């Protein structure tokens, strides 16, 4: 009997819907069908036992079949993969690569303090910014992530305080995608897997520029006031027509309107919070306004793992582990907090795993993406089980992004984002041999980094 990984949600409808989708995508625009088969490989996917030697078939961007007795269809481009291992493509849950927001317009000389404060608000309060709307298709800095096995990433708008809404995107765009005007304001480019994913908030004590707020306490008060204003705007819009059908509604602030899904609990709110006290603060704001919290950064999340579990929060751990400042003399005495952070950061994922908190990883802040898997390996050395590490890089990341029906495992009907390695994913000697994004083979020669877990090489 053929062994297949089949999503239970699509099992019944899969044969008809898959055939229809493949037929339509094969003929659209006169494109030739994209059909690849990886034959004889070890297949590793979260939640199911590994297949020692099997075949993965990808047709027109979709996984058509995967298992021990799957036959290679006629006309497929075959990769003979005996001795190699197939994994789901990895998911980086936090990057600003490939996002290019328009420059802020020059402001005329301000006449009042209200104008100063209003101009600052437009810079630090942008919940209506959609990352997907400002994604540059096939941006080289984003596409190079494929060389490290990363096939999709959570694209987040840059900024501080209320930054905007993220999108889960493939790291490369289809070759046939027009490069100009490819992404509309609705974020429905073929490169976008899901948009929006979450509203992103970063409370910081350093807020440049004139006007309110200027401090961390001011930033917290600023955020809370806007959340209250958004709630009031929604309540007002719902109550006025009921009292008097002729009453005109007051002008609606689009930025406050953009907060409604977060206040309704239908859109998660991702708080950038490293220190334990920052995480407590974020969870407190989430409780106050009924928000669905995700903590990003999470340097000290291990210290509050039980609180995170109780709050139902998910965590996106930055793999930008603290490093010793190279400008400090070798014999200099470092602050104890910095020493503790550097020592304990790799153990945070294991602490979250023990507490039953769902988490994923991000490359946010990393200078070298080649360190991505190396730092996951450091987390494994500090007690994180390898299977939990793989889940965090694949299906758990997909669940947090609300895209588990599309990516994260090797299953029939899912997007064909897969990688092929010549060894265990977390072995420093392993090389990435093949990468497929949306069923398209990535030319790794164009994205050939150096270091462990890198493509090609002998």
Output the domain CATH number for residue 211.
3.20.20.140
User: How many domains, in total, are found in the chain?
Assistant: 1
Q: Alpha helix (H) ranges present in 274-347?
A: 276-289, 305-311, 336-344
Tell whether the model's pLDDT for residue 240 goes beyond 70: no
Q: How far is CA 186 from CA 138, 276, 277, 401, in A?
A: 18, 36, 36, 18
Residue 52 CA to residue 9 CA, distance in Å, equals: 26
According to the model, what pLDDT value does residue 342 have?
82
Query: pLDDT class for 248, splitting at 50, 70, 90?
Result: low
291 located within any domain = yes
356 located within any domain = yes
39 located within any domain = no
333 located within any domain = yes
126 located within any domain = yes
According to the model, what pLDDT value does residue 250 have?
63
Residue 164 CA to residue 256 CA, distance in Å, equals: 12
* Residues 274 and 298 sit within 8 Å (Cβ to Cβ): yes
Query: pLDDT class for 239, splitting at 50, 70, 90?
Result: low
Residue 359 CA to residue 389 CA, distance in Å, equals: 9
Report which secondary-structure segment, H or E, holds 233: helix 216-243
Report pTM: 0.87
Higher pLDDT, 209 or 279: 279
Within 10 angstroms of residue 355's Cβ, the number of other Cβ atoms is 18
Tell whether the model's pLDDT for residue 185 goes beyond 50: no
Say if strands 161-165 and 192-194 run parallel, antiparallel, or are unpaired. unpaired
Query: pLDDT class for 446, splitting at 50, 70, 90?
Result: low
Host domain of residue 272: 91-216+266-406
Query: pLDDT class for 200, splitting at 50, 70, 90?
Result: very high
Q: What are the pLDDT digits (tens) for 27-44?
A: 343 344 689 999 999 999
Q: What is the mean pLDDT of residues 10-15?
A: 44
254 located within any domain = no
46 located within any domain = no
34: left (phi over 0), alpha (psi -120 to 50) or beta: beta
Q: What is the mean pLDDT of residues 80-92?
A: 98
Query: pLDDT class for 25, splitting at 50, 70, 90?
Result: very low
Query: pLDDT class for 325, splitting at 50, 70, 90?
Result: confident
Cα within 13 Å of Cα(446), Cβ side: 13
322 located within any domain = yes
According to the model, what pLDDT value does residue 188 have?
56
According to the model, what pLDDT value does residue 176 have?
64
Least reliable range by pLDDT among 67-71, 150-154, 205-209, 290-294: 205-209
Query: pLDDT class for 336, splitting at 50, 70, 90?
Result: confident
Residues 6+ apart with CB under 8 A from 455: 147, 431, 432, 433, 435, 444, 447, 448, 449
């Amino acid at each position: 009997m053929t062994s297949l990984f089949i999503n239970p949600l699509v099992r019944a409808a899969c044969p008809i819907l898959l055939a229809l989708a493949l037929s339509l995508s094969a003929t659209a625009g006169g494109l030739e069908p994209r059909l690849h088969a990886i034959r004889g490989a070890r297949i590793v996917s979260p939640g199911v036992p590994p297949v020692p030697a099997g075949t993965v078939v990808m047709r027109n961007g979709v996984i058509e079949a995967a298992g021990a007795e799957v036959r290679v269809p006629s006309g497929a481009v075959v990769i003979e993969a005996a001795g190699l291992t197939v994994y789901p493509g990895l998911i980086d849950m936090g990057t600003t690569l490939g996002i290019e927001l328009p420059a802020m317009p020059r402001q005329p000389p301000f006449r009042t303090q209200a104008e100063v404060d209003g101009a600052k608000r437009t810079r630090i309060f942008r919940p209506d910014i959609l990352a997907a709307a400002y994604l540059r298709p096939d941006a080289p800095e984003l596409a190079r992530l494929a060389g490290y096995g990363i096939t999709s990433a959570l694209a987040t708008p840059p900024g501080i305080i209320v930054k905007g809404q993220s999108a889960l995107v493939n790291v490369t765009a289809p070759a046939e995608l027009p490069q100009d005007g490819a992404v509309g304001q609705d974020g429905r480019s073929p490169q976008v897997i899901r948009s929006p994913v979450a509203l992103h908030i970063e409370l910081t004590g350093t807020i440049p520029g004139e006007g309110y707020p200027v401090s961390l306490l001011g930033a917290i008060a600023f955020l809370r006031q806007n959340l209250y204003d958004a709630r009031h705007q929604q309540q007002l819009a719902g109550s006025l027509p009921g009292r008097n059908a002729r009453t005109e509604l007051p002008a609606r602030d689009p930025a406050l309107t953009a907060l409604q899904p977060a206040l309704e609990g239908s859109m998660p709110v991702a708080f950038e919070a490293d220190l334990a006290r920052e995480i407590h603060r974020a969870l407190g704001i989430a409780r106050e306004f009924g928000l669905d919290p995700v903590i990003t950064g999470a340097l000290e999340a291990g210290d509050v793992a039980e609180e995170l579990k109780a709050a139902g929060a998910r965590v996106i751990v930055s793999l930008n582990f603290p490093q010793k400042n190279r400008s400090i003399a070798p014999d200099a005495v470092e602050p104890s907090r910095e020493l503790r952070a550097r020592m304990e950061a790799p153990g945070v994922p294991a602490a979250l795993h023990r507490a039953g908190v769902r988490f994923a990883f991000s490359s946010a802040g990393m200078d070298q993406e080649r360190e991505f898997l190396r730092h996951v390996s450091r987390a494994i050395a500090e007690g994180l089980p390898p299977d939990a590490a793989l889940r965090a890089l694949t299906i758990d990341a997909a669940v947090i992004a609300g895209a588990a029906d599309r990516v994260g495992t090797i299953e029939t009907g899912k997007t064909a984002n897969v990688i092929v390695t010549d060894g265990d994913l977390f072995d420093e000697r392993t090389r990435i041999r093949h990468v497929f994004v949306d069923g398209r083979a990535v030319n790794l020669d164009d994205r050939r980094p150096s270091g462990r877990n890198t493509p090609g090489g002998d």
